[in-house]
Amino acid sequence: QVQLVESGGGLVQAGGSLRLSCAASGRIFSIHDMGWYRQAPGKQRELVATITSGGSTNYADSVKGRFTISRDNPKNTVYLQMNNLKPEDTAVYYCYGFAGSGYWGQGTQVTVSS
């Protein structure tokens, strides 16, 4: 089993920044890919960014150039640095980890005011 706990969400004005953190525990040695997804009210959950165990990254077109995903393997933590936030980035952000099967965190709310 893998447990993922997100933190760092909150309310920010458009143009501002936030950094989300996701701490993994449990069978962390088996975690391969990790990532962030988000779900806005009335919409489906969508990919934001992913990072492999080797550090390769992938981003949704809507966040390229504004968001950066990173991973601290000794701390078993993945981060999402979000800059130049827009109201359309408002959503619940979920951490995801793949370790034989998929695991999700409980989510953290990000609200961007215009």
Profile the chain (114 residues) by mean pLDDT over runs of 10 residues: 93 98 83 93 96 94 98 90 98 93 95 96
Q: 70 has which bridge partners?
A: 79
**Residue 92: its pLDDT value, please?**
98
Q: What pLDDT is attached to residue 107? A: 96
- Residue 55: name the closest of 82, 84, 28, 34 by CA: 34
Looking at residue 29, what is its pLDDT?
67
- Amino acid 31: pLDDT: 78
**Residue 10: CA count within 13 A, CB half-sphere:** 11
pLDDT at residue number 27: 76
